[in-house]
Amino acid sequence: MRWPLALVTVSAALAQPALLRQSGFDSAWDIWAPRPEIAPRGYLDPTRSRAKPASLALSGNSNPAVCGGWQRAVSGVEPGRWYRLTAYYRAEGSQYDALQVLARLDWTTTQGRRAGQPDYASRVAPDGAWRRVTLEAPAPEKAAGVSIQLLLLNAPDTTVWWDDITLEAIPAPAPRPVRVAALNLRPDKSASAAASVAAFVAGIEKAVPEKTDIILLPEGITVVGTGKKYLDVAETIPGPTTETLGAVARRRAAWIVAGIYEREGPAVYNTAVLLDRAGRVAGRYRKVYIPREEMEGGITPGRDYPVFRTDFGSIGLMICWDVQYADPARALALRGAEMILMPIWGGNETLAKARAIENHVYLASSGYGFPTLVLGPDGETLAAAPERGQAAVATVDLSKRPYDTWLGELRGRFLKELRLDVNAALAGALR
Protein backbone atom coordinates (compact mmCIF):
# COMPACT_ATOMS: atom_id res chain seq x y z
CA MET A 1 0.00 0.00 0.00
CA ARG A 2 1.23 3.52 -0.83
CA TRP A 3 0.98 5.81 2.22
CA PRO A 4 0.50 9.58 1.84
CA LEU A 5 3.77 11.48 2.04
CA ALA A 6 2.64 13.45 5.12
CA LEU A 7 2.05 10.24 7.07
CA VAL A 8 5.42 8.83 6.03
CA THR A 9 7.18 12.04 7.16
CA VAL A 10 5.42 12.08 10.54
CA SER A 11 6.08 8.38 11.15
CA ALA A 12 9.76 8.78 10.31
CA ALA A 13 10.11 11.67 12.73
CA LEU A 14 8.38 9.72 15.51
CA ALA A 15 10.46 6.60 14.85
CA GLN A 16 13.80 8.39 15.08
CA PRO A 17 15.75 7.73 18.27
CA ALA A 18 16.34 10.70 20.51
CA LEU A 19 19.49 12.71 19.85
CA LEU A 20 20.05 12.65 23.61
CA ARG A 21 18.32 10.91 26.49
CA GLN A 22 20.25 10.96 29.74
CA SER A 23 19.88 10.44 33.47
CA GLY A 24 23.18 9.69 35.14
CA PHE A 25 25.88 11.94 33.78
CA ASP A 26 29.39 11.86 32.35
CA SER A 27 32.26 14.02 31.18
CA ALA A 28 30.41 15.04 28.01
CA TRP A 29 28.94 17.89 30.07
CA ASP A 30 31.07 20.90 30.98
CA ILE A 31 30.61 24.30 32.58
CA TRP A 32 29.93 27.38 30.44
CA ALA A 33 29.97 30.99 31.70
CA PRO A 34 30.33 34.41 30.04
CA ARG A 35 33.34 35.07 32.32
CA PRO A 36 35.26 32.66 34.57
CA GLU A 37 34.80 34.84 37.65
CA ILE A 38 31.00 34.53 37.51
CA ALA A 39 30.78 30.80 36.75
CA PRO A 40 28.65 28.74 39.17
CA ARG A 41 30.15 25.78 40.97
CA GLY A 42 29.15 22.65 39.07
CA TYR A 43 29.32 19.11 40.41
CA LEU A 44 27.60 15.72 40.16
CA ASP A 45 25.37 15.13 43.17
CA PRO A 46 24.69 11.41 43.89
CA THR A 47 22.12 12.30 46.59
CA ARG A 48 19.62 14.06 44.27
CA SER A 49 18.14 12.42 41.18
CA ARG A 50 14.87 11.42 39.51
CA ALA A 51 16.05 8.11 38.05
CA LYS A 52 19.66 7.00 37.76
CA PRO A 53 22.01 8.11 40.55
CA ALA A 54 23.51 11.60 40.33
CA SER A 55 22.23 14.82 38.86
CA LEU A 56 23.92 17.88 37.39
CA ALA A 57 24.17 20.34 40.29
CA LEU A 58 24.91 24.06 40.17
CA SER A 59 25.59 26.31 43.16
CA GLY A 60 25.55 30.10 43.17
CA ASN A 61 28.41 29.79 45.64
CA SER A 62 27.57 33.16 47.25
CA ASN A 63 28.56 34.95 44.04
CA PRO A 64 26.10 37.86 43.41
CA ALA A 65 27.06 37.93 39.72
CA VAL A 66 26.75 34.17 39.11
CA CYS A 67 25.84 33.38 35.49
CA GLY A 68 26.42 30.11 33.70
CA GLY A 69 25.92 26.39 33.96
CA TRP A 70 26.13 22.99 32.33
CA GLN A 71 26.29 22.54 28.58
CA ARG A 72 26.59 19.66 26.17
CA ALA A 73 27.08 19.72 22.40
CA VAL A 74 24.82 17.48 20.32
CA SER A 75 25.33 16.82 16.61
CA GLY A 76 22.99 15.47 13.94
CA VAL A 77 20.65 18.46 13.82
CA GLU A 78 18.90 19.20 10.50
CA PRO A 79 17.91 22.76 9.50
CA GLY A 80 14.15 23.26 9.50
CA ARG A 81 13.39 20.13 11.49
CA TRP A 82 11.57 20.55 14.79
CA TYR A 83 13.06 19.38 18.10
CA ARG A 84 11.80 19.05 21.64
CA LEU A 85 13.97 19.61 24.71
CA THR A 86 12.69 18.23 28.01
CA ALA A 87 14.57 18.67 31.29
CA TYR A 88 13.76 18.47 35.00
CA TYR A 89 15.11 20.64 37.80
CA ARG A 90 14.87 21.21 41.54
CA ALA A 91 15.94 24.47 43.12
CA GLU A 92 16.58 25.48 46.71
CA GLY A 93 17.10 29.09 47.77
CA SER A 94 15.68 30.50 44.54
CA GLN A 95 13.68 33.72 44.81
CA TYR A 96 12.40 33.89 41.22
CA ASP A 97 12.90 30.78 39.07
CA ALA A 98 11.91 32.48 35.80
CA LEU A 99 14.97 34.72 36.05
CA GLN A 100 17.36 32.39 37.86
CA VAL A 101 16.82 28.96 36.28
CA LEU A 102 17.13 28.67 32.51
CA ALA A 103 17.26 25.89 29.91
CA ARG A 104 17.94 26.83 26.31
CA LEU A 105 19.12 25.52 22.95
CA ASP A 106 22.01 27.39 21.31
CA TRP A 107 22.18 26.23 17.67
CA THR A 108 25.54 25.86 15.89
CA THR A 109 26.86 25.49 12.34
CA THR A 110 29.33 22.87 11.13
CA GLN A 111 32.07 25.42 11.92
CA GLY A 112 30.86 25.74 15.52
CA ARG A 113 29.48 29.26 15.06
CA ARG A 114 26.05 30.31 16.31
CA ALA A 115 23.24 29.58 13.85
CA GLY A 116 20.21 31.80 14.20
CA GLN A 117 19.32 32.75 17.77
CA PRO A 118 19.03 30.64 20.96
CA ASP A 119 15.61 29.29 21.93
CA TYR A 120 14.40 29.54 25.54
CA ALA A 121 12.43 26.83 27.37
CA SER A 122 9.59 28.89 28.83
CA ARG A 123 7.02 26.19 29.57
CA VAL A 124 7.36 24.98 33.15
CA ALA A 125 5.11 22.51 34.98
CA PRO A 126 5.38 20.86 38.42
CA ASP A 127 6.24 17.15 38.49
CA GLY A 128 6.32 15.95 42.08
CA ALA A 129 9.33 17.44 43.84
CA TRP A 130 10.76 18.49 40.46
CA ARG A 131 9.72 20.89 37.73
CA ARG A 132 9.61 19.95 34.05
CA VAL A 133 10.70 22.45 31.41
CA THR A 134 9.96 21.93 27.72
CA LEU A 135 10.87 23.68 24.52
CA GLU A 136 9.74 22.92 20.98
CA ALA A 137 11.54 24.76 18.19
CA PRO A 138 12.78 24.36 14.61
CA ALA A 139 16.50 24.25 13.94
CA PRO A 140 17.44 27.46 12.09
CA GLU A 141 19.05 27.71 8.68
CA LYS A 142 22.61 26.30 8.57
CA ALA A 143 22.23 24.54 11.94
CA ALA A 144 24.15 21.25 12.17
CA GLY A 145 24.33 20.90 15.95
CA VAL A 146 23.11 22.42 19.16
CA SER A 147 24.43 23.14 22.63
CA ILE A 148 22.00 22.19 25.40
CA GLN A 149 22.51 24.72 28.20
CA LEU A 150 21.15 24.29 31.73
CA LEU A 151 21.93 27.48 33.59
CA LEU A 152 21.81 29.26 36.95
CA LEU A 153 21.67 33.06 36.82
CA ASN A 154 21.68 35.90 39.36
CA ALA A 155 21.17 33.50 42.28
CA PRO A 156 24.06 33.59 44.79
CA ASP A 157 22.15 31.62 47.45
CA THR A 158 20.59 29.04 45.15
CA THR A 159 21.43 25.45 44.29
CA VAL A 160 19.72 23.82 41.31
CA TRP A 161 19.79 20.17 40.25
CA TRP A 162 19.14 19.10 36.64
CA ASP A 163 18.17 15.57 35.59
CA ASP A 164 16.43 13.48 32.90
CA ILE A 165 17.50 15.46 29.82
CA THR A 166 15.97 14.55 26.44
CA LEU A 167 16.42 16.10 22.99
CA GLU A 168 14.35 14.50 20.23
CA ALA A 169 13.06 15.25 16.74
CA ILE A 170 9.32 15.84 16.53
CA PRO A 171 6.85 16.56 13.70
CA ALA A 172 6.37 20.22 12.85
CA PRO A 173 3.21 21.60 14.46
CA ALA A 174 0.15 21.58 12.23
CA PRO A 175 -1.28 24.96 11.22
CA ARG A 176 -4.08 26.21 13.49
CA PRO A 177 -6.11 28.62 11.38
CA VAL A 178 -8.77 30.59 13.28
CA ARG A 179 -11.33 32.82 11.61
CA VAL A 180 -12.10 35.83 13.82
CA ALA A 181 -14.92 38.33 13.25
CA ALA A 182 -15.32 41.53 15.30
CA LEU A 183 -18.58 43.42 14.76
CA ASN A 184 -18.83 47.21 14.50
CA LEU A 185 -22.36 48.09 15.60
CA ARG A 186 -23.99 50.62 17.94
CA PRO A 187 -27.76 50.37 18.41
CA ASP A 188 -29.58 53.65 18.98
CA LYS A 189 -32.84 54.38 20.82
CA SER A 190 -33.40 50.78 21.87
CA ALA A 191 -36.51 50.21 23.96
CA SER A 192 -34.81 47.62 26.15
CA ALA A 193 -31.71 45.53 26.74
CA ALA A 194 -33.34 42.72 24.76
CA ALA A 195 -33.90 45.08 21.83
CA SER A 196 -30.21 46.06 21.76
CA VAL A 197 -29.17 42.40 21.93
CA ALA A 198 -31.57 41.63 19.06
CA ALA A 199 -29.86 44.37 17.01
CA PHE A 200 -26.49 42.66 17.57
CA VAL A 201 -27.94 39.30 16.55
CA ALA A 202 -29.23 40.88 13.34
CA GLY A 203 -25.82 42.48 12.80
CA ILE A 204 -24.11 39.10 13.13
CA GLU A 205 -26.46 37.55 10.58
CA LYS A 206 -25.82 40.37 8.13
CA ALA A 207 -22.07 40.99 8.47
CA VAL A 208 -20.37 37.89 9.88
CA PRO A 209 -19.62 35.18 7.31
CA GLU A 210 -20.46 31.54 7.88
CA LYS A 211 -17.75 29.21 9.20
CA THR A 212 -16.39 31.87 11.52
CA ASP A 213 -14.69 30.35 14.56
CA ILE A 214 -15.15 33.19 17.06
CA ILE A 215 -17.38 36.29 16.98
CA LEU A 216 -16.60 39.35 19.10
CA LEU A 217 -19.18 41.93 20.19
CA PRO A 218 -18.55 45.22 22.04
CA GLU A 219 -18.71 46.18 25.71
CA GLY A 220 -22.07 46.62 27.42
CA ILE A 221 -24.31 45.36 24.62
CA THR A 222 -27.30 45.35 27.00
CA VAL A 223 -27.02 49.03 27.92
CA VAL A 224 -25.84 50.76 24.73
CA GLY A 225 -28.59 52.77 23.06
CA THR A 226 -31.15 52.16 25.84
CA GLY A 227 -30.60 55.22 28.02
CA LYS A 228 -30.69 52.91 31.04
CA LYS A 229 -28.23 52.58 33.92
CA TYR A 230 -25.95 49.63 34.59
CA LEU A 231 -28.12 48.30 37.40
CA ASP A 232 -31.25 48.50 35.22
CA VAL A 233 -29.86 45.93 32.78
CA ALA A 234 -27.78 43.74 35.10
CA GLU A 235 -28.64 40.04 34.88
CA THR A 236 -27.38 36.66 36.00
CA ILE A 237 -25.11 34.38 34.00
CA PRO A 238 -26.61 32.19 32.58
CA GLY A 239 -29.47 34.56 31.85
CA PRO A 240 -31.59 36.02 29.03
CA THR A 241 -28.68 37.49 27.04
CA THR A 242 -26.53 34.35 27.17
CA GLU A 243 -29.63 32.35 26.14
CA THR A 244 -30.18 34.59 23.09
CA LEU A 245 -26.52 34.62 22.06
CA GLY A 246 -26.23 30.90 22.81
CA ALA A 247 -28.82 30.19 20.15
CA VAL A 248 -26.71 32.14 17.63
CA ALA A 249 -23.58 30.25 18.71
CA ARG A 250 -25.34 26.89 18.22
CA ARG A 251 -26.79 27.85 14.85
CA ARG A 252 -23.41 29.03 13.55
CA ALA A 253 -21.24 26.54 15.47
CA ALA A 254 -19.13 29.53 16.57
CA TRP A 255 -17.69 30.82 19.82
CA ILE A 256 -19.05 34.22 20.90
CA VAL A 257 -17.61 36.87 23.23
CA ALA A 258 -19.83 39.76 24.38
CA GLY A 259 -19.79 42.42 27.09
CA ILE A 260 -22.80 42.50 29.44
CA TYR A 261 -23.56 43.58 33.01
CA GLU A 262 -23.71 40.71 35.46
CA ARG A 263 -25.45 40.68 38.84
CA GLU A 264 -24.33 38.34 41.60
CA GLY A 265 -25.88 39.15 44.98
CA PRO A 266 -25.33 42.85 45.71
CA ALA A 267 -22.46 43.10 43.20
CA VAL A 268 -22.79 44.20 39.57
CA TYR A 269 -19.85 43.44 37.30
CA ASN A 270 -18.86 44.64 33.83
CA THR A 271 -18.40 41.15 32.39
CA ALA A 272 -17.23 39.62 29.13
CA VAL A 273 -18.96 36.29 28.67
CA LEU A 274 -17.64 33.43 26.51
CA LEU A 275 -20.07 31.03 24.80
CA ASP A 276 -18.90 27.84 23.11
CA ARG A 277 -20.03 26.41 19.77
CA ALA A 278 -22.88 24.57 21.51
CA GLY A 279 -24.15 27.82 23.02
CA ARG A 280 -23.07 27.00 26.56
CA VAL A 281 -21.43 29.49 28.92
CA ALA A 282 -17.76 28.47 28.74
CA GLY A 283 -16.38 31.25 30.92
CA ARG A 284 -16.58 34.85 32.04
CA TYR A 285 -14.16 37.67 32.77
CA ARG A 286 -15.06 40.45 35.20
CA LYS A 287 -13.39 43.73 34.30
CA VAL A 288 -10.53 44.40 36.71
CA TYR A 289 -9.77 48.05 35.94
CA ILE A 290 -12.86 50.09 36.77
CA PRO A 291 -12.71 53.79 35.79
CA ARG A 292 -14.22 56.48 37.97
CA GLU A 293 -17.42 56.62 35.92
CA GLU A 294 -18.16 52.93 36.52
CA MET A 295 -17.24 53.12 40.19
CA GLU A 296 -19.74 55.97 40.58
CA GLY A 297 -22.28 53.85 38.67
CA GLY A 298 -21.98 51.07 41.24
CA ILE A 299 -19.78 48.61 39.31
CA THR A 300 -17.62 46.20 41.33
CA PRO A 301 -14.15 45.34 39.95
CA GLY A 302 -13.07 41.79 39.18
CA ARG A 303 -10.04 40.11 40.72
CA ASP A 304 -8.62 37.64 38.19
CA TYR A 305 -7.37 37.20 34.62
CA PRO A 306 -8.69 33.78 33.52
CA VAL A 307 -7.53 32.07 30.34
CA PHE A 308 -9.87 29.72 28.47
CA ARG A 309 -9.08 26.65 26.37
CA THR A 310 -11.03 26.45 23.12
CA ASP A 311 -10.91 23.87 20.36
CA PHE A 312 -8.45 26.06 18.45
CA GLY A 313 -6.20 27.40 21.23
CA SER A 314 -6.05 29.48 24.41
CA ILE A 315 -7.75 32.88 24.63
CA GLY A 316 -7.97 35.66 27.19
CA LEU A 317 -10.50 38.47 27.60
CA MET A 318 -10.03 42.15 28.44
CA ILE A 319 -12.56 44.98 28.62
CA CYS A 320 -12.06 48.62 27.64
CA TRP A 321 -10.20 50.45 30.46
CA ASP A 322 -8.02 47.38 31.00
CA VAL A 323 -6.08 48.37 27.87
CA GLN A 324 -4.74 51.46 29.66
CA TYR A 325 -2.62 49.23 31.92
CA ALA A 326 0.09 46.74 31.06
CA ASP A 327 -0.71 43.99 33.55
CA PRO A 328 -4.03 42.54 32.21
CA ALA A 329 -2.59 41.56 28.83
CA ARG A 330 0.69 40.53 30.43
CA ALA A 331 -1.08 38.25 32.92
CA LEU A 332 -3.08 36.64 30.12
CA ALA A 333 0.07 36.01 28.08
CA LEU A 334 1.86 34.52 31.09
CA ARG A 335 -1.09 32.15 31.57
CA GLY A 336 -0.82 30.97 27.97
CA ALA A 337 -3.26 33.15 26.04
CA GLU A 338 -2.46 33.21 22.32
CA MET A 339 -5.24 35.65 21.44
CA ILE A 340 -6.99 38.39 23.42
CA LEU A 341 -10.60 39.37 22.69
CA MET A 342 -11.48 42.87 23.88
CA PRO A 343 -15.01 44.32 24.02
CA ILE A 344 -14.48 48.07 24.37
CA TRP A 345 -16.42 51.34 24.46
CA GLY A 346 -13.63 53.77 23.62
CA GLY A 347 -9.92 54.10 24.32
CA ASN A 348 -6.39 54.42 23.02
CA GLU A 349 -5.67 52.48 19.83
CA THR A 350 -1.91 52.90 20.26
CA LEU A 351 -2.06 51.16 23.62
CA ALA A 352 -4.03 48.26 22.12
CA LYS A 353 -1.28 47.80 19.54
CA ALA A 354 1.32 48.00 22.29
CA ARG A 355 -0.43 45.22 24.24
CA ALA A 356 -0.31 42.97 21.17
CA ILE A 357 3.34 43.79 20.46
CA GLU A 358 4.72 43.54 23.99
CA ASN A 359 2.96 40.22 24.69
CA HIS A 360 3.31 38.73 21.18
CA VAL A 361 -0.39 37.87 20.92
CA TYR A 362 -3.21 38.45 18.48
CA LEU A 363 -5.72 41.02 19.73
CA ALA A 364 -9.23 41.69 18.43
CA SER A 365 -11.39 44.65 19.49
CA SER A 366 -15.05 45.51 19.00
CA GLY A 367 -16.11 48.97 20.12
CA TYR A 368 -18.17 52.12 19.70
CA GLY A 369 -15.68 54.99 19.97
CA PHE A 370 -12.76 52.63 19.37
CA PRO A 371 -11.74 51.00 16.07
CA THR A 372 -13.05 47.50 15.41
CA LEU A 373 -9.87 45.62 14.51
CA VAL A 374 -7.96 42.39 14.41
CA LEU A 375 -4.28 43.00 15.26
CA GLY A 376 -1.31 40.71 14.75
CA PRO A 377 1.51 40.09 17.26
CA ASP A 378 3.54 42.83 15.55
CA GLY A 379 0.72 45.33 16.03
CA GLU A 380 -0.17 45.27 12.34
CA THR A 381 -3.85 45.64 11.42
CA LEU A 382 -4.99 42.37 9.83
CA ALA A 383 -8.61 43.46 9.40
CA ALA A 384 -10.70 46.53 10.17
CA ALA A 385 -14.39 47.48 10.07
CA PRO A 386 -14.52 51.30 9.86
CA GLU A 387 -18.27 51.51 9.14
CA ARG A 388 -21.24 50.60 11.34
CA GLY A 389 -22.72 47.26 10.40
CA GLN A 390 -19.41 45.90 9.15
CA ALA A 391 -17.30 43.12 10.63
CA ALA A 392 -13.51 42.97 10.75
CA VAL A 393 -12.77 39.41 9.61
CA ALA A 394 -9.34 37.77 9.57
CA THR A 395 -7.98 34.24 9.54
CA VAL A 396 -4.94 33.92 11.80
CA ASP A 397 -2.63 30.94 12.33
CA LEU A 398 -1.99 30.37 16.03
CA SER A 399 0.81 27.89 15.25
CA LYS A 400 3.09 30.65 13.91
CA ARG A 401 6.02 31.66 16.11
CA PRO A 402 6.71 35.41 16.47
CA TYR A 403 10.35 35.58 15.36
CA ASP A 404 12.84 38.39 14.88
CA THR A 405 16.10 37.88 12.97
CA TRP A 406 18.15 39.63 15.67
CA LEU A 407 16.20 38.73 18.79
CA GLY A 408 15.01 35.21 18.01
CA GLU A 409 11.68 33.71 19.10
CA LEU A 410 10.06 36.58 20.93
CA ARG A 411 7.40 34.93 23.07
CA GLY A 412 9.82 32.57 24.78
CA ARG A 413 12.24 35.42 25.49
CA PHE A 414 9.44 37.57 26.86
CA LEU A 415 8.26 34.87 29.26
CA LYS A 416 11.80 34.15 30.51
CA GLU A 417 13.12 37.70 30.77
CA LEU A 418 10.04 39.39 32.29
CA ARG A 419 10.90 40.74 35.77
CA LEU A 420 7.87 40.09 37.95
CA ASP A 421 10.10 39.82 41.01
CA VAL A 422 10.70 43.60 41.10
CA ASN A 423 7.74 45.18 42.88
CA ALA A 424 6.95 48.48 41.18
CA ALA A 425 5.00 49.71 44.20
CA LEU A 426 8.16 49.67 46.30
CA ALA A 427 9.73 52.30 44.03
CA GLY A 428 7.02 54.92 44.43
CA ALA A 429 4.38 56.47 46.62
CA LEU A 430 2.00 53.50 46.49
CA ARG A 431 3.66 51.78 49.45
- Using one digit for the tens of pLDDT, what is the confidence trace for 189-212? 999 999 999 999 999 999 999 999
Would residue 409 count as lying in a domain?
Answer: no
Predicted local distance difference test score (pLDDT) of residue 426: 59
Its domain, for residue 225, covers 177-398
Is pLDDT at 5 greater than 50 in this prediction?
A: no
Residue 228 and residue 363 share a domain: yes
Q: How many residues are listed for the chain in this entry? A: 431
Is pLDDT at 10 greater than 70 in this prediction?
A: no
Residues 108 and 114: their CA atoms lie apart, in Å, by: 4
Residue 87 and residue 15 share a domain: yes
Residue 92 and residue 216 share a domain: no
Beta bridge partners of 132: 88, 125
Q: What is the mean pLDDT of residues 323-330?
A: 96
Residue 156 and residue 295 share a domain: no
Residue 77 and residue 198 share a domain: no
Would residue 315 count as lying in a domain?
Answer: yes
DSSP 8-state code for residue 192: S
Q: 227 versus 410: which is more confidently predicted?
A: 227
Residues 69 and 53: their CA atoms lie apart, in Å, by: 20
15: confidence class by pLDDT, cuts 50, 70, 90: low
Q: pTM of the predicted model, to two decimals?
A: 0.90
Would residue 155 count as lying in a domain?
Answer: yes
Residue 238 and residue 156 share a domain: no
Predicted local distance difference test score (pLDDT) of residue 225: 95
pLDDT digits (tens, 9 = 90+) for 241-282: 999 999 999 999 999 999 999 999 999 999 999 999 999 999
Would residue 413 count as lying in a domain?
Answer: no
The pairing of strands 214-216 and 177-183 is parallel
pLDDT digits (tens, 9 = 90+) for 62-89: 999 999 999 999 999 999 999 999 999 9
Mean pLDDT value across the chain: 93
Residue 188 and residue 211 share a domain: yes
Closest by CA to 222, choosing from 205, 204, 239, is 239
Would residue 414 count as lying in a domain?
Answer: no
Domain count, the chain: 2
